[in-house]
């Protein structure tokens, strides 16, 4: 049994990670400011779960939160490209300064950190597969703020010998992703539109593609990364290694839900990349990780969840 701190544990990915850790018998302290995270994501009175409401940028709160902890999963962030374009300073403060604060407290207590990185670090490069060896080229303030956190991870591993793994997620989807905010993930937003009989909105021509990854595969990879020891800093992609465009995704969802609504098209969003596909060789080699949930299966599970919760 280990004790873990999960920042952002009341959010979409964080709450699935909490489920996994509790299910394997670990104890979990969630630190979240509940700005987008929900108590409902954590359930009630769960054995082994403790919740702290605090901001990741607060030094005293993080210092207190790491006491008695064996490892930190850092997921708290403002995870929106669109919001970062409107509010770059706030995004930097929470994502970069907040990340640095976590690392600083981790090195004081000598606690390992698994850090939620983002494929947005790659930007819009020509390479078909985004490999960790590519030079990063962030487009949006969000991407830059997440990459700043990653760079601090690398420097803390080198300067303080802090064990750190950056898991770079691609497009994560699944139950509990907020579907009705202007910053919602596209699969969540499409599921909700279909359930409401509304037209799904596609920004751009719908041919932009993503390496969509089911949330349970992501949390499994994070726990594997926590358990395994590495020499020096590690940054690895966590995804499926498959590319699907929005029109294909929409067609699977329409098929499954029986919806006949055609999409509405809007202008492509500033700061969005056109294609995003992970090279998964490193995670396969270092963690023996392979995504297990197929795209169709993941979409069906996700749609079923939104149907239960929203209709
Ligand atoms: N969802 C994706 O596709 C994706 C892709 C790449 C990277 N990521 C990264 O994964 C992590 C989790 O993303 P998510 O999709 O679950 O988002 P989410 O918004 O559901 O979760 C973020 C959580 O952080 C909390 N939070 C925000 N600001 C905070 C603060 N100042 N102090 C404490 N808690 C704060 C929120 O309340 C929320 O519970 C983020 O770091 C994000 O950048 C997500």
Task: Please compute the mean of the pLDDT values over residues 166-193 and round it to a whole number.
Answer: 90
Domain count, the chain: 1
Find the 124 Cα to ligand 1 centroid distance in Å.
22
Say if 49 falls within a structural domain. Answer: yes
Q: The CATH number of the domain where 232 resides is what?
A: 3.40.50.720
pLDDT tens-digit readout, 226-262: 999 999 999 999 999 999 999 999 999 999 999 888 9
Find the 116 Cα to ligand 1 centroid distance in Å.
9
Say if 232 falls within a structural domain. Answer: yes
Give the pLDDT of residue 55: 98
pLDDT tens-digit readout, 260-280: 889 999 998 876 778 889 999
Say if 42 falls within a structural domain. Answer: yes
Say if 126 falls within a structural domain. Answer: yes
Beta carbon of 116 within 6 Å of any ligand 1 atom: yes
Give the pLDDT of residue 125: 86
Query: What DSSP state is assigned to residue 203?
Result: E
Give the pLDDT of residue 120: 92
Say if 14 falls within a structural domain. Answer: yes
Work out which ligand 1 atom sits closest to the CA atom of 76: 24
Say if 102 falls within a structural domain. Answer: yes
Q: Residue 62 sits in which domain range?
A: 3-173+213-240+278-292
Say if 90 falls within a structural domain. Answer: yes
Give the pLDDT of residue 272: 74
Find the 78 Cα to ligand 1 centroid distance in Å.
6
The whole-angstrom separation of Cα 264 and Cα 202 is 6
* Residue 171, phi then psi, degrees to nearest 5: -90, 110
Indicate the helix (H) or strand (E) that contains 52: strand 49-53
Q: Is 265 helix (H, G, I), strand (E, B) or coil?
A: strand
**Average pLDDT value for the chain:** 95
Query: What DSSP state is assigned to residue 94?
Result: I
Q: What percent of the chain has pLDDT over 70?
A: 99
Say if 253 falls within a structural domain. Answer: no
Beta carbon of 34 within 6 Å of any ligand 1 atom: yes
CB 7 within 8 A of CB 34: no
pLDDT tens-digit readout, 21-30: 999 999 999 9
* Residue 173, phi then psi, degrees to nearest 5: -145, 165
pLDDT at 132 over 70: yes
Is the pTM here over 0.85, yes or no?
A: yes
Task: Please compute the mean of the pLDDT values over residues 266-295 and round it to a whole number.
Answer: 92
Q: What percent of the chain has pLDDT over 90?
A: 90
Find the 238 Cα to ligand 1 centroid distance in Å.
16
Sequence-distant (≥ 6) Cβ neighbours of residue 92 within 8 angstroms: 141, 144, 145, 148
pLDDT tens-digit readout, 182-215: 667 899 999 999 999 999 999 999 999 999 999 9
Give the pLDDT of residue 311: 83
Task: Please compute the mean of the pLDDT values over residues 159-170 and round it to a whole number.
Answer: 97
Give the pLDDT of residue 184: 74
């Amino acid at each position: 049994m280990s004790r873990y701190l999960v920042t952002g544990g009341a959010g979409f990915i964080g709450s699935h990670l909490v489920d996994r850790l509790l299910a394997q018998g670990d104890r979990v302290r969630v630190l979240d400011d509940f700005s987008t995270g929900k108590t409902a994501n954590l359930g009630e009175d769960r054995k082994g779960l403790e919740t702290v409401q605090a901001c990741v940028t607060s030094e005293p709160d993080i210092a207190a939160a790491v006491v008695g902890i064996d490892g930190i999963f850092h997921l708290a962030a403002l995870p929106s490209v669109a919001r970062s374009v409107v509010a770059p300073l706030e995004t930097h403060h929470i994502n970069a300064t907040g990340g640095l604060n976590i690392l600083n407290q981790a090195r004081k207590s000598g606690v390992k950190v698994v850090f939620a990185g983002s494929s947005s670090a790659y930007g819009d490069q020509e390479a078909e597969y985004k490999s960790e060896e590519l030079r990063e080229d962030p487009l949006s303030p969000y991407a830059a703020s997440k990459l700043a956190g990653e760079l601090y991870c690398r420097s803390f591993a080198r300067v303080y010998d802090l064990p750190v793994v950056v898991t770079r997620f691609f497009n994560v989807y699944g139950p509990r992703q907020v579907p009705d905010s202007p910053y919602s993930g596209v699969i969540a937003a499409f599921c909700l539109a279909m359930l409401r009989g509304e037209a799904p909105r596609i920004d751009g021509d719908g041919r932009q593609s993503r390496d969509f990854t089911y949330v349970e595969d992501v949390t499994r990879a994070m726990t594997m990364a926590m358990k395994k020891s590495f020499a020096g800093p590690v940054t690895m992609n966590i995804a499926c290694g498959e590319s699907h465009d929005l029109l294909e995704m929409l067609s699977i969802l329409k098929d499954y839900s029986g919806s006949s609504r055609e999409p509405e098209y809007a202008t492509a969003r500033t700061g969005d990349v056109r294609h995003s596909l992970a090279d998964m060789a490193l995670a396969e080699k270092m963690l023996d990780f392979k995504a297990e949930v197929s795209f169709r299966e993941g979409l069906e599970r996700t749609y079923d969840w939104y149907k239960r919760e929203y209709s």
